[in-house]
A and B are shown apart, each in its own frame.
Chain A
Amino acid sequence: MSPETLEPRSAEHKPAARASATAQPEGLEAFKAEAFANVARDAHSRHYWASLGELQGQPEFAQWVAREFPQGASTLDGVDRRRFLQLAGASVALAGAQSCRWEKTTLLPFAEHPEERIPGVPEHFATGFELSGVVQPLVMTAYEGRPIKVEGNAWHAESQGAATTIAQAAILDQYDPDRSQSFLRDGAAVAPEGFDATFGGLRQKYIENGGAGLAVLLRPTSSPAIETQLARLAEALPQARFVRYDAVARHNEAEGARLAFGRPLRVHYRLADALTVVGFDSDLLDGHPGALRHARDFAKRRKPESGLEMSRLYAIEARFTTTGSSADHRLPVRSSQVGALLCALEAKLAQRGLPQVSGFGAPNALPSGELIADPKVARFLDALADELMARRNQSALAIGPEHAPELHALVLRLNAALGNLGRTVLLTEEPLAAGGEQNGPAALAGLVQALDAGQVETLVVLEGNPVYDAPRGLGFAAAYAKAQNRIHLGLYVDETAQASTWHVPAASFLECWGDGRAWDGSYCVTQPIIQPLYGGKSTLEFLGFLANGQWQSGRELVAQSFAAVAAAGDGAAEGAWARCLHDGWLAGSELRPVSPNPRSLAALSLDPAALTTALPANGSFELTLHRDIKLHDGRFANNGWLQELPDFLTKVTWDNPLLLSPATARSLGITTGDLVELSLGSSRLEVAAYVMPGQGPGALSLALGYGRAAAGHVGGLFRDATPSVGFDSYALTDRTATGVFSGASVRKLGGTYTLACTQEHHQIETNGRLERDGGEADPKVAMTVEDPAKWHHEEGAEGHGDHGHDHADHDHDHAADGHSHAEDGHTHAEKSAPKFAFGKPSRVSELIREATVGQYTGIQTDLAALRQKQAEHPEESHAGGHHVEPNPFKRVPGPELVPLWTERSYEGNKWGLAIDLSACTGCNACVVACQAENNIPVVGKDQVKRGREMSWIRIDRYFAGQEDAPEVRSQPMACIQCENAPCEQVCPVAATVHSTEGLNDMVYNRCIGTRYCSNNCPVKVRRFNFFNYHKQLKREENDVRKLGFNPEVTIRARGVMEKCTYCVQRIQAVKIQAKVEKRAILDGEIKTACQQTCPSDAIRFGNLADASSEVSKLHATDRAYELLAFLRIKPRTAFLARITNPNPALA
């Protein structure tokens, strides 16, 4: 664009044009035109011209010149230069903007790298979790300093690797944004120093006056460190009160021991040595503080392969417990009848000549009454008494914590007489008995009196919530307001915190040092895994401050206490502290069994009303208020995992309905979901009813811990208009929170209430029930499960399972003559001609296969004989005829299954799982383990109601038998990883595919969510993200939640299907490690989360390609069967048939 190319332009004009261009670029062309015109018109000046047009000053020429560039030069393909430059500039600007989307953050490397911490490699720490004074030994998994998973401490006898649902779910509370985050004074946040000053001043005052007007309310604890501080405080502040209260403490047990032995004692059970276990309203296998060990020990004798004699479990209970649901025989009664039954049992044992232990007093006489005379009850008690007589020293009797101390004493006397004490039932000192008179509801009542009398000026509540969970009859909330200084230490700004003048955020068990004793009494140390997120203080530190006037490190206090404990034991060995931190507990610190002298027990006085069998009238129902298996006393109400965990039997989530028996419900005209008014004394509660098969007639039960007013945004927070979950059953409590109370009445209110159940969302009509439960087409006998062996009999061939021994000879005949066997099979195949479904045996009996131990032995004998025959005469095969599976557990209805194509072969690993239905108690521990391990979202009550719960593993629960005394079948169900997976075939985008190790992989990134796979899944274990269930994470206050996720597992997006992966991340981690170490993967090295935490050791994962692996051996047992085998899906998860051990006398 040099000027020379523009021929007509004069050299003279150029500078002017340029100058003006610099000065006034936008007027450039106009200026040039004007300038030239002036020049042309100037007749007097001499000038040069190039053309006539120029000379004549024609306007066209002027215009032509004015255009600096040739025509068209200013537009490029219709876009003018300016526009082009604008666009180009904008593009550049936008291109730059693209990289400015996220806020710039800086990552700082560790200035000093923490020792042995490798990013991405998890660390494990042993610690403990104290719940109601009992420490559960745990191992924490932490990534980059963030604890993300709670597991049991495999080295500790009370855990053996298992952890309870509550302990596992505690990780969610750690990262709960509703946790208390600052010091509060009258509800307003203040700096911690403000509290220190005020409280320091108060402390000084009380030190001076000996503690008059000061009361401290804390939870009973087994922590020696806290006891040391308390002892020091008691010395310094002799006038102060130190009251201990826990709504769900097991005082009655200790008091029972006091009656029987003169001092509070703890009762331990060694179920591995017990051949007969009897539970009276006792949840030994789940709710009991020692349940993990009980379940593990009990399971040892329930797996027939163990070679041990199988134990038998009896349950006599009003409310179904997990233990009762696993029992061989269960007698549903009212809790108020348990005393009479115990007396009767004792009398019957005495009749049978059971020698009495001297010093205990005379046995109770056989009560007379309808109940004891009732043939069903009498038969049950006689059979039980006979068995207990035969198995002396080898039985264990246990009674639930809601029962009166007298009954606990009686059970101890029975155990003593049966020779169980010191063998299956051990007694030790009770670590929770500390505090003496100031421990328990009576002490709390005393405190309330003192408050009312104005004797308490300052009340310090350490990690308790008495405004909510103190028995309401005491009127604690009103009395509390009378204290001038109300100081509360707690994890949440709960009901008590809201009523306090000062609130101090508590440190969670993952954030502070602590110690305590496990159920067996061993000394455990709780060590922090993470710094307190909100500067919280522990009870120990708080007491330390009170005692010493300054915040002391918890570590120091615990180390001191450790030294004392160790010195009292075998003496502190070199490195014992480090060893204790590593192992989580001090070896050899378990409590030693004691053999105290018995005391004479008075004869039990029985209420005549308890001895009737008639259904009590409305108004004299009994009501059991009990600890909730999920929320404990309500302190975990803000935990979504626990709230959404289906109850082990009702499958209700997010609620605590009132359970009542079908007979009771009928008498009141109530069905499940009706709103009722429950009255006890002068208290009333509006609550939803749930008709529970197997509930004692006339017995009502209701869990505590729901209906919170200030739990948080999950469990209820009235201040923020978050409705509470469930019903506040503390409203019915008077002097104690838990217990069995008589005189309850129920009134049906008009409305209904939707309970969110994960199973049987809706009432199932007659035909559905018949199909599920079997039986004739008569609705009255619904829920009748036929003998599964009978089903095999009808559907398949001869009744191998029927009466194993009787058929042994028959089988020999079969084996001896292969041809006739084949023909036989043929005839039977014809015989099993289709029938209309009515009158068919239960579908459940096909899904959950079971046999009694007698039948099982018979089947094994038959099979062994058959195999031997086959080995001797291999030529006599079944070729040419219908093959009939001789093993009834594995028998499949319909024609023989033949593969249609070459099956997959595997080089290397071939993963598989086995679930032993004999051992499974249905306790739900695996469900929470899976939820924590796999980042499974909580979806809320509304979504559960819609049938959209997300848990990858669920416990299918079925009932069998009559509705007033049903049996329970539990079946854990997760993806069974079919070899011929129906889901894989139908996915249009290949998002679910088979791995080279036989896993049915789910590729979340590829999934578009057609949900076809779920439709085609015969076991319906796939879960779909109907919404973005992690949406709340986008809110800033929920940032803390992100810390709790397992970084090894993807967070699934909306619209994506998900399901059990056999914890593929754990498989990969071990594979990588083995590869790095250039070795093979050991059997048992990979544990799925559900397996790891299973208290009854019912789940085994491993390599099926390795015939010596445990899982292969389990798959090879006679009782392993494939679910829905006739579909030819070839599941990788084998179920092991449930073997029961019923008493032949009660058959």
Chain B
Amino acid sequence: MSSTKTLIPVTGLDNSGDDPRGRYPLILGNTYESITEKVCGVVEESRIRPLWLIGFLIALGGMATLFSLIVYLIATGVGVWGNNIPVAWAWPIVNFVFWVGIGHAGTLISAILFLFRQNWRTSINRFAEAMTIFAVVCAATFPGIHVGRIWLAYWLFPIPNQMLMWPNFRSPLLWDVFAVSTYGSVSLMFWYMGMIPDLATIRDRAKHPLRRFAYGLLSLGWRGSSRHWHRYERAYLLLAGLATPLVLSVHTIVSFDFAVSQVPGWHTTIFPPYFVAGAIFSGFAMVVTLAVPARAYYNMRDIITIRHLENMNRIILATGMMVGYAYAMEFFIAWYGGNRYEQFAFINRATGPYAWAYWTMVSCNVLSPQVFWFKKARTSIPIMMIVAILVNVGMWFERFVITVTSLSRDYLPSSWDYFRPTWVDIGMLIGSFGLFFTLFFLFLRFLPMIAMAEVKSIMPAPHGDAAHGRDRHAAKAAAAAH
């Protein structure tokens, strides 16, 4: 895939130039060896970095909050949340959809960008995939504890049983169970499989026998033989092919929870593409949010370069526009469709008691990414951090707006009510971030955060031989040798 055009040499860390005469390298000033040293160095470091420890402890506290609240919830009842009738679904479902959405970027980067031969994915894919897994873990927590009788949640699965009862296959919630569990397992497999060569590298470098044993177990006997590479690449391609439709299907099906119902404001055909775009949008924003501090902290600015970040910001801009289009189209269709109930649902969104949430969502999701039209903003670390965080906030509010405002005022005005969260709602949202970051901090410490083998495959060959560089097998073999 390397271009026939010349590679424009870069001094410093800014490879975001747009010189049409050639390409800027994606990885700056690294050799195969330095990549290995840097990435494995983080895992092999014996000291515990103070900032990591502080972050980890805070996250652990959050996770503990989440689990204690779950215990409290199970002991007491779902009334500990602010849910009511008519708003029978509220923050837990908002959090669920939010986290599932976050989980989209990972598989998109690993699968779709892989199939499209987007080489820049290599620096961030491990990161993003890990984020996906952890986000799915957070997401999966919520529907399980959301039901009234948590101890019977397994009835959602089609397990043969003495009651001779199957779940109701007409219910979108059931489709959700399949969609999310399939997505979670394929993402996990994808992530893990992609990590095997790198795990083997760590194993080979390990000095302590326990370490060697642990990583040896994880690397499943990888020896880096040409046959291994062959099988690996085939499998990776197949999994990418399998995961690609999943990227589209998961959030499509999550959107069916809403679209298949007849609640005004939920019952909308635009939901599947709109949800997928929104998910990718929020996923990329989260990757940026995580990658920027991580690359700075672990000194990997030359591996996750400004160019990578800029590319992600471009995607944020594009998907942000899609989401904005969807917001506008919902209003248009409500007006054009002539159904007064739907019309009111949208007027209510924009002007009703939750207007503050709606306009927070629009400002964060539609307006804030517009700064990315400017290259300066796309390549500015502070600006992109601010925008990425705003997008995360905005996307949480999008799910809130869809779920809560629609339910709070549906057909009969007698049932209209206003939802207020309780401290448990707030604690669980914070706690889910704790769970996410706990896992993420552990990932940073114990697993290779950059896909070394893949990064090396897009670097120029060590001897400056162009033909060599194009041969990925050879490059990977060489990489594994280092």
Contacts and interface: CB of A to CB of B under 8 A. Distances in A.
Nearest to A993: B168
Interface stretch (A124-132, A764-772, A1079-1087): A764-772
A987 B169 CA distance: 9
Given A1009-B148, A1026-B83, A762 B353 contact: yes
A200 B165 CA distance: 69
A946 B90 CA distance: 13
Nearest to B89: A1015
Contacts of B415: 759, 1019-1020
A946 B82 CA distance: 7
Contacts of B89: 1011-1012, 1015
Interface stretch (B43-51, B302-310, B339-347): B339-347
A836 B352 contact: no
A713 to B, nearest CB: 21
A727 B171 CA distance: 48
Nearest to B154: A1008
B85 A1018 contact: no
A894 interface: yes
Interface centre among B85, B152, B173, B336 (most CB of A within 10 A): B85
A837 B88 CA distance: 27
A73 interface: no
B156 A836 contact: no
B156 A1018 contact: no
Contact of B172 (A957, A986, A1054): A986
Contacts of A894: 338-339
A923 to B, nearest CB: 17
B418 interface: yes
B440 to A, nearest CB: 30
Contact of B170 (A772, A985, A1023, A1055): A985
Contacts of A759: 414-415
A1012 B171 contact: yes
Contacts of A844: 413
B343 A834 contact: yes
A143 B326 CA distance: 60
Interface in A1035-1076: 1053-1057
A449 B370 CA distance: 84
B344 A771 contact: yes
A833 interface: yes
Interface residues of B, number: 60
B6 to A, nearest CB: 58
A988 B343 contact: no
Nearest to A982: B262
Chain A contact residues: helix, strand, loop or mixed: loop
A986 B411 contact: no
Contacts of B385: none
A986 B165 contact: no
A832 B416 CA distance: 27
B153 interface: yes
A164 interface: no
B230 interface: no
Contacts of B417: 761-762, 947
A1015 B79 contact: no
A958 B413 CA distance: 9
Nearest to A768: B352
A1015 B411 CA distance: 11
B198 interface: no
A1124 interface: yes
Contact of A1008 (B76, B86, B155, B340): B155
A834 B343 CA distance: 10
Interface residues of A, number: 65
B330 interface: no
Nearest to A942: B79
B458 interface: no
Nearest to B406: A1015
Contact of A1027 (B77, B84, B260, B337): B77
A1009 B147 contact: yes
B419 to A, nearest CB: 8
Nearest to B336: A834
A250 interface: no
Contact of B85 (A982, A1023, A1027): A1023
B87 to A, nearest CB: 8
A988 B149 contact: no
B418 A1024 contact: no
A986 B338 contact: no
Contact of A1007 (B149, B257, B348, B353): B149
B182 interface: no
B383 interface: no
A759 B88 CA distance: 16
Contacts of A1106: none
Interface string A822-847: 00000000001110110010011001
B148 A772 contact: no
Contacts of A1124: 411
A947 B85 contact: yes
A837 B343 contact: yes
A378 B170 CA distance: 63
B126 interface: no
Contact of A1127 (B76, B262, B340, B407): B262
A485 B77 CA distance: 51
A764 B416 contact: yes
Contact of B149 (A772, A843, A1023, A1056): A1056
A834 B152 contact: no
A834 B412 contact: no
A410 B170 CA distance: 68
Contact of B88 (A973, A1014, A1025): A1014
Given A958-B414, A1127-B262, A765 B78 contact: no
B335 to A, nearest CB: 6
Contacts of A772: 413
B352 A765 contact: yes
B92 to A, nearest CB: 10
B152 to A, nearest CB: 5
B315 interface: no
Interface centre among A768, A834, A947, A1018, by most B CB within 10 Å? A947
A368 interface: no
Interface string A79-114: 000000000000000000000000000000000000
Nearest to A957: B414
B410 interface: yes
A298 B335 CA distance: 45
A1100 interface: no
Contact of A1009 (B78, B167, B335, B411): B78
Interface string B63-95: 000000000000011110011111111000000
B363 interface: no
Contacts of B344: 771, 837, 843
A1027 B76 CA distance: 7
A954 interface: yes
Contacts of A843: 340, 344, 413
B76 A956 contact: no
Contacts of A1056: 148-149
A1008 B150 CA distance: 7
Contacts of B322: none
B149 A986 contact: no
Interface string B138-161: 000000001111101101100000
Contact of A1018 (B410, B413, B418): B410
B148 A768 contact: no
A759 B414 CA distance: 6
Interface in B241-273: 257, 260-263
Contacts of A1026: 77-79, 83-84, 148
Given A833-B338, A990-B165, 8 more contacts: A834-B343, A844-B413, A987-B171, A989-B168, A1018-B262, A1019-B415, A1055-B78, A1127-B262
Which 3 A-B residue pairings sit nearest by Cβ, starting from the closest?
A: A1009-B148, A1055-B148, A1026-B79
16 contacts: A771-B340, A837-B344, A843-B344, A947-B84, A947-B85, A988-B156, A988-B168, A1006-B165, A1008-B152, A1010-B173, A1011-B83, A1011-B88, A1012-B257, A1016-B261, A1026-B77, A1054-B148
